């Protein structure tokens, strides 16, 4: 801001000096006034008339008449006060011009936009990939001359990671050394880079870094996600569920991230044969009850199948609440409430009744597929706690 105001002030002073120059630096000699110019012109005309009379070009009668007319015009044209003597006070003129220019400049400044808005508009322009690559390359060249700047190497590593240059990021994290050891986020980032470069394997150093990050910050989101992923890959589904559920508690229930982690938890529970977790109880009204299945359909359930309980406003296709969980032993208890809402603007608590159905999917996809096991939709009053749903059909 200061870098803008100082040049603007200097420019304003320059404009004022140029405008006030005639008043600040008056001419050394007085200029010829209009009155003096008129007198000089008529004097010249009178001399010409006298020369014409003497040469005989004008007779005496015409000379006297013309001479009288010229004297009359000379008297009229030189009768007004001298314009050089009637100028206003230079001091008042200077003050008036200064006030006018300052007010005009300030008005234009605030009307058209100030320096802050100019800077913001410039910041709004997205940086190109080439410009970012150039800045990172310049930063990398600088760090080669500062090998002991561990913080700088960590910053360079994160820059490489954002650009997707994981091999360079791994090298930069290694050169950051002990600076990374005290920062749980950097430890998690480093572990993520190492696992990516190892084709998804967390064995060895990546897992050590994850555990170290969680020891410093047990609620670090990335470390919890990586810990759950490492456990899932190692078929330790119980540990994967524990890590991911701890992560899910920190996410907004209506966010895409929460829905994705919930699906991963359901998959881990299904593959590990773990019982589904009970949905959290909330004070807002919803629908709860129990789900059962027809005996002849039990044999069609396979490990990894996902059970979905879906509530819709009657007559509409968009769900207002969806519960996804692993299929375990029936009967299965369920609760549908605002915590499972698909949109914060469409809540089950805002309705008087909903249409509820159950579907067992092989893929867990939102769209129904052929072969899904389904129940008959039921219209249920919101607030009901003893709903009974039965899966008794196969989607053609």
pLDDT at 194 over 60: yes
Q: What is the pLDDT of residue 281?
A: 44
**Comparing 325 with 292, which gets the higher pLDDT?**
292
Assign a CATH topology to domain 129-271: 1.25.40
Segment 183-200 mean pLDDT: 88
Higher pLDDT, 96 or 377: 377
Q: Say what the pLDDT of residue 377 is.
A: 92
Q: Taking 50 as the threshold, does the pLDDT of residue 57 lie above it? A: yes
- Asked whether the predicted pLDDT for residue 357 surpasses 90, the reply is yes
301 versus 77: the higher-pLDDT residue is: 301
> Sorting pLDDT into bands at 50, 70 and 90, what band is 85?
very low
Percent of the chain with pLDDT over 90: 10
pLDDT at 339: 79
**In the CATH hierarchy, which top-level class contains the domain 285-394?**
mainly beta
Asked if residue 354 has pLDDT above 90, the reply is yes
- pLDDT greater than 60 at residue 36: yes
196 in Cβ contact with 168 (< 8 Å): no
- Residues sharing a CB contact under 8 Å with residue 172, sequence separation 6 or more, in sequence order: 143, 153, 154, 156, 157, 160
115 phi and psi angles, rounded to 5 deg: -65, -35
| pLDDT at residue 177, rounded to an integer | 82
Is the pLDDT at 381 greater than 90? The verdict is yes
Residues of the chain with CATH 2.60.40.2990: 285-394
**Do the strands 287-293 and 332-336 form a parallel or antiparallel pair, or are they unpaired?**
antiparallel
Among 77-81, 196-200, 378-382, where is mean pLDDT lowest? 77-81
Which carries the bigger pLDDT value, residue 268 or residue 16? 268
- pLDDT band at residue 104 under the 50/70/90 scheme: low
pLDDT of the residue at 92: 63
- Determine what percent of the chain is predicted with pLDDT higher than 70: 70
- pLDDT at residue 86 is higher than 50: no
Confidence band for 353, pLDDT divided at 50, 70 and 90: very high
Provide the token pair at 253.
């229930």
pLDDT band at 45 (very low <50, low <70, confident <90, very high): confident
Written in H, E and C, the secondary structure of the chain is CHHHHHHHHHHHHHHHHHHCHHHHCCCCCCCCCHHHHHHHHHHHHHHHHHHHHHHCCCCHHHHHHHHHHHHHHHHHHCCCCCHHHCCCCHHHHHHHHHHHHHHHHHHHHHHHCCHHHHHHHHHHCCCCHHHHHHHHHHHHHHHHCCCCCHHHHHHHHHHHHHCCCHHHHHHHHHHHCHHHHCCHHHHHHHHHHHHHHCCCCCCCHHHHHHHHHHHHCCCCHHHHHHHHHHHHHCCCHHHHHHHHHHHHCCCCCCCHHHHHHHHHHHHHHHHHCCCCCCCCCCCCCCEEEEEEECHHHHHHCCCCCEEEEEEECCCCCCEEEEEEEECCCCCEEEEECHHHECECCECHHHCCEEEEEEEEECCCCCCCCCCCEEECCEEEECCCCCEEEEEEEECC
Mean pLDDT, the chain, rounded, equals 77
pLDDT score recorded for residue 356: 94
- Please report which confidence band the pLDDT of residue 271 belongs to, taking 50, 70 and 90 as the band edges: confident
| pTM beyond 0.75 | no
Residue range 357-382: mean pLDDT, rounded: 86
Q: Answer yes or no: is pLDDT of 87 > 50.
A: no
* Range in 91-95, 225-229, 291-295 with the lowest mean pLDDT: 91-95
Q: Residue 308 — very low, low, confident or very high, per pLDDT cuts 50/70/90?
A: confident
């Amino acid at each position: 801001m200061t870098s803008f105001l100082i040049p603007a002030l200097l420019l304003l002073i320059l404009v004022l000096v140029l405008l006030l120059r005639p008043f600040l630096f008056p001419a050394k000699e007085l200029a010829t006034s209009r009155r003096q110019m008129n007198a000089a012109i008529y004097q010249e005309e009178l001399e010409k008339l006298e020369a014409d009379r003497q040469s005989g070009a004008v007779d005496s009668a015409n000379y006297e008449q013309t001479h009288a007319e010229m004297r009359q015009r000379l008297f009229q044209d030189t009768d007004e006060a001298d314009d050089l003597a009637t100028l206003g006070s230079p001091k008042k003129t200077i003050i008036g011009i200064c006030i006018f220019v300052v007010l005009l400049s300030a008005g234009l400044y605030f009307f058209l936009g100030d320096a802050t808005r100019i800077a913001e508009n410039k910041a709004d322009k997205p940086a190109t990939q080439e410009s970012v690559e150039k800045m990172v390359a310049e930063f990398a060249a600088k760090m080669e001359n500062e090998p002991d700047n561990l913080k700088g190497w960590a910053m360079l590593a994160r820059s490489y990671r954002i650009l997707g240059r994981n091999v360079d990021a791994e090298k930069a994290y290694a050169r950051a050394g002990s600076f990374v050891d005290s920062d749980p986020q950097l430890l998690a980032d480093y572990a993520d880079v190492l696992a990516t470069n190892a084709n998804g394997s967390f064995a060895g150093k990546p897992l050590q870094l994850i555990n170290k990050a969680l020891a410093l910050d047990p609620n670090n989101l990335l470390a919890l996600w990586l810990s759950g992923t490492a456990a899932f890959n190692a078929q330790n589904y119980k540990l994967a569920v524990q890590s991911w559920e701890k992560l899910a508690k920190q996410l907004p229930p209506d966010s895409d991230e929460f829905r994705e982690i919930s699906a991963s938890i359901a998959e881990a529970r299904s593959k590990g044969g773990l019982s589904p977790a009970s949905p959290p109880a909330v004070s807002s009204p919803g629908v709860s009850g129990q789900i059962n299945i027809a005996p002849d359909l039990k044999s069609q359930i396979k490990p990894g199948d996902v059970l979905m309980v879906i509530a819709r406003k009657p007559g509409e296709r968009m769900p207002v609440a969806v519960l996804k969980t692993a299929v375990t032993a029936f009967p299965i208890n369920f609760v549908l409430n605002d915590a499972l809402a698909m949109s914060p603007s469409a809540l089950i608590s805002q309705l008087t009744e909903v249409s509820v159905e159950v579907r067992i999917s092989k893929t867990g996809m939102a769209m129904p597929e052929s072969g899904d096991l389904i129940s008959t939709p039921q219209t249920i009053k919101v607030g009901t706690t003893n709903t009974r749903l039965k899966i008794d059909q196969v989607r053609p």
